Amino acid sequence: MDLTAYARRSTLRLTTRGRRSGRPHAVTIWFVVADQRRLYVQHARGPTADWFKNLRKNPAVQVDLGDGPLSGTAREIADPAVVASVLQQVRRKYWFAWIFQVLGMTRQAVAAEIEIDGRSATAGADVAEP
């Protein structure tokens, strides 16, 4: 699976496993492609988003770029310099993201890297149990 073909898509559907409920939790989110197998997602206002809390607890995720869900593994990006780089990439792709920066809403931004393993998945089925 070569993710670079999806770089111009505006959003993806990210499915995580609820950290308390254990049920699939899906959100539509902005993203940037890192390379052929990895992409980045971020939340500008810190680690408060449920999807981010969920992937920290259980890194098995699904990503749907419009052609059906793919299995992947997420990891929080801890290095502030890498998080800043991801935010810069997001601002280059999405003009609206600049507004968050101007309003000071990116001070506690978080980011995650998702590596796609290339397997197609049935929606919600391959998101591992906690």
Identify which has the larger pLDDT, 126 or 116. 116
CATH number, domain of 26, equals 2.30.110.10
Instruction: Give the chain's mean pLDDT.
Output: 86
Average pLDDT over residues 64-74: 95
First to last CA, the chain: 27
Structural domain tally of the chain? 1
Beta bridge partners of 75: 113
Residue 76 contacts residue 95 (beta carbons within 8 Å): no
Alpha-carbon distance 38 to 96, whole Å?
Answer: 23
Alpha-carbon distance 38 to 104, whole Å?
Answer: 28
Average pLDDT over residues 79-89: 91
Residue 130 belongs to some domain of the structure: no
Residue 125 belongs to some domain of the structure: no
Work out the pLDDT band at 109, boundaries 50, 70, 90: confident
